[in-house]
Chain A
Amino acid sequence: MLAWLGRKVGGALVVLWLVATAIFIGVRLIPGDPAEAIMGGPGSQASAEALAAARSEYGLDLPLITQYLMFLAKLIRLDFGTSYALKDPVLQVIAEVLPPTITLALISLAAAWLLSLIFAMLAMRATRAGQCVGNAVEIIAAAVPHFWLGAVLIMLFSSMLGWFPAVDNGTGAGLVLPVLTLALPLAGFLTQLMRDSLSTALGSQFALAARTRGESRLTVFWRHGLRHAALPALGLTGWAFSSLLSGAVVVEAIFARPGLGRSLLSAVLSRDIPMVTGIALFSALVYIVVMALTEAIERLIDPAGAES
């Protein structure tokens, strides 16, 4: 267990370093002068002297390799720098916007799991025609883009029916539509996966053996089917979480929610390099943590499978 943890932490550090390097290169490929961004964007019409001063202040006039090493050295000290646009420390900004996004992503993940479990259970009992319809619904759900789904949900449930607010009013009802927007496509994916492994498990010899022991169909589903259905879906959850984070960029913009995604969007638009770097690194970290967590749960469910 300790060796496993050690391997995970070591691997995580390597991944973070690679991500940091990729971000360092990536943000410098964005066209435009970062000094202009520091001075308030291209519209600010800063003088040449002011731009030069900003460049030397932020070390932008140094050779690239020196900039890279300085960047790494700061990262090791957990110094993400100061946002160009907000003039606040990046860590402080992230600490403010992270909780709402993580809440949104976690609730969406739980909702997606719940929805796909219900779908998969219904599909078990459905007729052939019903299964075809269900399959089509899943594929469509998995394929719709977030921005379209979000707009349709707002139109339907907010503008026309007036059931849920489009913008959060602090009661929690404002979470319903953003969560649905994120959870429905994911539920489509998960259901496809679960249905497949569920029907394999329920058609297997060990399910028959369980029936010969006197277990009812429902007991077999809970005791055996669910475990086997959860395993592949769990393996997907790391990916699912990262897709939720990137979906949050769109959803937070549509529903005007504060959060990591929205901050990332505005940081990219205003070429706020420290902010983009910080958020990207944080997302990578969240992803790594979620992956390790799902792996730990997988080991709990299937210790023999995890060893091989």
Chain B
Amino acid sequence: MSPLLEVENLSVGFAGQLAVDSVSFELSAGECLALVGESGSGKSVTARSLLGLSGGKVSAEKFSVLGQDATAMSERAWQQMRGNSVAMILQDALMALDPLRPVGREIADALKEHSSLSKPERTAKVREALEAVDLPEPAWRMKQRSSQLSGGMRQRVLIAQAMIGDPQVVIADEATTALDSRLTALVLEQLRALKNAGRAVLMISHDLAQVAQLADRIAVMRAGKIVEAGDTDQVLNRPQHEYTRTLLRAIPSGVPRFQPLSLAPPKAAVVAQEPAKPARMPALVVEDLSKSFGKHAAVQGAGFVVQQGQTLGLVGESGSGKTTTARLVLGLERPDTGSVRLFGEHFAPQREAQRRYLRENIGAIYQNPLGSFDPRYNVGQLLTDALSAGRSKRGASYRTQVSRLLEQVELDPALGSRNPRELSGGQRQRLAIARALAPRPKVLVLDEPVSALDVSIQATVLDLLDRLQQETGTSYLFISHDLSVIEHMSDTVAVMYRGSIVEQGATADVFGDPQHEYTRSLLTAMPRLR
């Protein structure tokens, strides 16, 4: 049987710059190929060019899609192919569905393009497709808009949208990125069902661990080129290219605490130290914390302890109350019940005036640092603002401190005059860390600090956080939906489910011998390589 996709020396250029450079691969029915690489490696452009949607100048020695010569295909022919024989699942289910239209109509649009079905027939088919992806109450849900659905439902709708035309090739572009482990498992399970049903699946991802479960073959992309390609087993276990090894090393699951995930930290590699002995007084004590919004109980009776110089990992899926807990701990939200103590002193609930002197002891880092920077400040001004506790943003007296902070987070002090928008995702997160470190806090609350980053960048940021903890003895409350990150970073772990902490203990115990049903289901869904 001839392959459904045949690509030989495909190049895609934008204004003279090659985003994809001489890429070759093929894909047959019932097979799954994964294109892996970090953002900007050209993998998404490659995927889009398979639908004739790259927007750049495409050239190839051989480029055939379902036996048709794609280099000579008209726009009309492309349109007949898209959503019909080749479909795509895009990354962010919230962004990939029009917020102003009912999801059922979004799904039906493909039928409108490719069939002459009447409206009731289309509605019936959409319902079938939604039932096939196990969406509860499809007849009602299909009339809702994407913002009214939960994350899991949206993901299912997005898959149904791609499947409605019964395509032979399905392209999943970062379809599992930034999803919590149960949603990831859901998407992977759906893709596996497609593969078993004889469809060809092309997975695009930055995360080797996630594609490993499904892919038959893996092609690693970097700077527009495929640097290594082969069977999954071979690429994962006997990687030939240095870059593949870097990507594999960056996967945090199963890597012991403080062991670097990235190579070549600019200074000498950190000597793995014995974890600091727990001091007598814990850094942060949270007791019986509860918070409701209207009738919805966001957090119920959460309690945990963060020891000095240690990390508590708080893990749970989206909507489990992790972020509300972080806001309660930071004193940004007033708890209904319970208390937060910082080094034995009462921090929440407390009048702001009475706890202000404690504020410099606790800092926060968020998932999207850019949103937490004032867009009118440059890097130096942001740090000066933080160093002076908001009294100045230009003070020359802070200049050496600004440089020292930037060096501390391994950023070039010359970046001081740049706007954060010009920085890369990893650099922005380093800047956020530098800003949080400015008042020399003893506790840092990190809310999904690496969730928006590629695995390889995530590795360098995690290594930085490790190094800083060893150098400064800062205690971390590390919040993430990503079990492998939590496993690597935490001394102790608390598992949150529907607002309650269902299990907590030493990392090795929770991951090695989970007691609660929910923890077990999370761990089964977790992609593991080691």
List A residues at the B interface (Cβ < 8 Å): 204-206, 208-216, 219, 223-224, 227-228, 231, 301-305
Instruction: Specify the chain B residue showing the minimal Cβ separation from A206.
Output: B98
Instruction: Using known A-B contacts A205-B92, A205-B95, A303-B145, determine if residue A213 contacts B109 with beta carbons closer than 8 Å.
Output: yes
- Do the beta carbons of B88 and A223 come within 8 Å of each other? no
Residues of chain B with a CB closer than 8 A to A216's CB: 75, 79
Can you sample 19 A-B contacts with CB below 8 Å? A205-B90, A208-B53, A209-B161, A210-B109, A212-B82, A212-B83, A213-B165, A214-B79, A214-B80, A214-B110, A214-B165, A215-B113, A223-B98, A227-B98, A227-B100, A231-B100, A304-B99, A304-B147, A304-B148
Residues of chain B with a CB closer than 8 A to A213's CB: 82-83, 87, 109-110, 113, 161, 165
- Do the beta carbons of B90 and A208 come within 8 Å of each other? yes
In the assembled complex, how far is the CB of residue A43 from the closest CB belonging to chain B, in whole angstroms? Answer: 60
In this assembly, does B490 line the interface, its C-beta being within 8 Å of a C-beta of chain A? no
In this assembly, does B101 line the interface, its C-beta being within 8 Å of a C-beta of chain A? yes
The distance in angstroms between the C-alpha atoms of A282 and B168, with both chains bound, is 63
For A212, give its contact among B87, B91, B147 (CB under 8 Å).
Answer: B87
Residues of chain B with a CB closer than 8 A to A215's CB: 79, 83, 109, 113
Q: 10 shortest A-B CB distances, which residue pairs? A: A213-B83, A205-B95, A214-B83, A214-B82, A213-B110, A212-B88, A214-B113, A206-B98, A209-B96, A205-B96
Residues of chain B with a CB closer than 8 A to A305's CB: 99-100, 147
Residues of chain B with a CB closer than 8 A to A206's CB: 95-99, 106
In the assembled complex, how far is the CB of residue A5 from the closest CB belonging to chain B, in whole angstroms? Answer: 23
- Do the beta carbons of B82 and A302 come within 8 Å of each other? no
In the assembled complex, how far is the CB of residue B380 from the closest CB belonging to chain A, in whole angstroms? Answer: 31
Residues of chain A with a CB closer than 8 A to B66's CB: none
Interface string of B280-296 (1 = CB under 8 A from A): 00000000000000000
- Do the beta carbons of B81 and A214 come within 8 Å of each other? yes
The distance in angstroms between the C-alpha atoms of A36 and B145, with both chains bound, is 63
Residues of chain A with a CB closer than 8 A to B148's CB: 304
The distance in angstroms between the C-alpha atoms of A230 and B453, with both chains bound, is 35
In the assembled complex, how far is the CB of residue A239 from the closest CB belonging to chain B, in whole angstroms? Answer: 22
The distance in angstroms between the C-alpha atoms of A298 and B53, with both chains bound, is 32
List B residues at the A interface (Cβ < 8 Å): 51, 53, 75, 79-84, 87-88, 90-92, 95-101, 106, 109-110, 113-114, 145, 147-148, 161-162, 165
The distance in angstroms between the C-alpha atoms of A210 and B95, with both chains bound, is 12
Instruction: Using known A-B contacts A205-B91, A212-B87, A304-B145, determine if residue A224 contacts B97 with beta carbons closer than 8 Å.
Output: no
The distance in angstroms between the C-alpha atoms of A209 and B160, with both chains bound, is 13
For A227, give its contact among B90, B101, B110, B162 (CB under 8 Å).
Answer: B101
Residues of chain B with a CB closer than 8 A to A228's CB: 100
The distance in angstroms between the C-alpha atoms of A139 and B53, with both chains bound, is 34
- Do the beta carbons of A302 and B99 come within 8 Å of each other? yes
In the assembled complex, how far is the CB of residue B157 from the closest CB belonging to chain A, in whole angstroms? Answer: 11
Q: How many inter-chain contacts with C-beta < 8 Å in the A-B complex?
A: 82
- What would 14 more interface pairs be, CB under 8 Å, given A212-B90, A215-B113? A205-B91, A205-B96, A206-B96, A208-B96, A209-B88, A212-B83, A214-B83, A214-B113, A215-B79, A215-B83, A227-B100, A228-B100, A302-B99, A304-B148
Residue among B90, B95, B98, B162 with max Cβ neighbours from chain A (10 Å):
B98
Residues of chain B with a CB closer than 8 A to A214's CB: 79-84, 110, 113-114, 165
Instruction: Using known A-B contacts A212-B53, A213-B110, A223-B109, determine if residue A301 contacts B92 with beta carbons closer than 8 Å.
Output: no
Residues of chain B with a CB closer than 8 A to A208's CB: 53, 90, 96
Chain A binding surface SS class: helix
The distance in angstroms between the C-alpha atoms of A210 and B158, with both chains bound, is 11
- Do the beta carbons of A209 and B110 come within 8 Å of each other? no
Instruction: Specify the chain A residue showing the minimal Cβ separation from B51.
Output: A212
- Do the beta carbons of A224 and B51 come within 8 Å of each other? no
Instruction: Specify the chain A residue showing the minimal Cβ separation from B78.
Output: A214
Residues of chain A with a CB closer than 8 A to B101's CB: 223-224, 227
In the assembled complex, how far is the CB of residue A213 from the closest CB belonging to chain B, in whole angstroms? Answer: 4
Residues of chain A with a CB closer than 8 A to B90's CB: 205, 208-209, 212
Residues of chain B with a CB closer than 8 A to A303's CB: 145
In the assembled complex, how far is the CB of residue B480 from the closest CB belonging to chain A, in whole angstroms? Answer: 24
Residues of chain A with a CB closer than 8 A to B97's CB: 206, 209
The distance in angstroms between the C-alpha atoms of A224 and B146, with both chains bound, is 14
Residue among A212, A219, A223, A304 with max Cβ neighbours from chain B (10 Å):
A212
In the assembled complex, how far is the CB of residue B378 from the closest CB belonging to chain A, in whole angstroms? Answer: 26
The distance in angstroms between the C-alpha atoms of A211 and B80, with both chains bound, is 11
The distance in angstroms between the C-alpha atoms of A305 and B82, with both chains bound, is 31
The distance in angstroms between the C-alpha atoms of A113 and B398, with both chains bound, is 54
In the assembled complex, how far is the CB of residue A16 from the closest CB belonging to chain B, in whole angstroms? Answer: 33
Residues of chain A with a CB closer than 8 A to B161's CB: 209, 213
Instruction: Specify the chain A residue showing the minimal Cβ separation from B105.
Output: A223
Residues of chain A with a CB closer than 8 A to B51's CB: 211-212
In the assembled complex, how far is the CB of residue B95 from the closest CB belonging to chain A, in whole angstroms? Answer: 4
Residues of chain B with a CB closer than 8 A to A205's CB: 90-92, 95-96
The distance in angstroms between the C-alpha atoms of A209 and B79, with both chains bound, is 13
The distance in angstroms between the C-alpha atoms of A64 and B386, with both chains bound, is 58
Residue among B79, B81, B145 with max Cβ neighbours from chain A (10 Å):
B79
The distance in angstroms between the C-alpha atoms of A212 and B170, with both chains bound, is 11
In the assembled complex, how far is the CB of residue B146 from the closest CB belonging to chain A, in whole angstroms? Answer: 8
The distance in angstroms between the C-alpha atoms of A204 and B83, with both chains bound, is 18
Residues of chain B with a CB closer than 8 A to A304's CB: 99, 145, 147-148
In the assembled complex, how far is the CB of residue B155 from the closest CB belonging to chain A, in whole angstroms? Answer: 13
The distance in angstroms between the C-alpha atoms of A156 and B69, with both chains bound, is 57
Residues of chain B with a CB closer than 8 A to A231's CB: 100
Instruction: Specify the chain B residue showing the minimal Cβ separation from A224.
Output: B98
The distance in angstroms between the C-alpha atoms of A215 and B98, with both chains bound, is 14
The distance in angstroms between the C-alpha atoms of A282 and B106, with both chains bound, is 43
Residues of chain B with a CB closer than 8 A to A224's CB: 98, 100-101
In the assembled complex, how far is the CB of residue B202 from the closest CB belonging to chain A, in whole angstroms? Answer: 13
- Do the beta carbons of A210 and B98 come within 8 Å of each other? yes
The distance in angstroms between the C-alpha atoms of A224 and B101, with both chains bound, is 8
Residues of chain A with a CB closer than 8 A to B100's CB: 224, 227-228, 231, 301-302, 305
In the assembled complex, how far is the CB of residue B320 from the closest CB belonging to chain A, in whole angstroms? Answer: 22
Residues of chain A with a CB closer than 8 A to B75's CB: 216
The distance in angstroms between the C-alpha atoms of A32 and B208, with both chains bound, is 84
In the assembled complex, how far is the CB of residue B143 from the closest CB belonging to chain A, in whole angstroms? Answer: 10
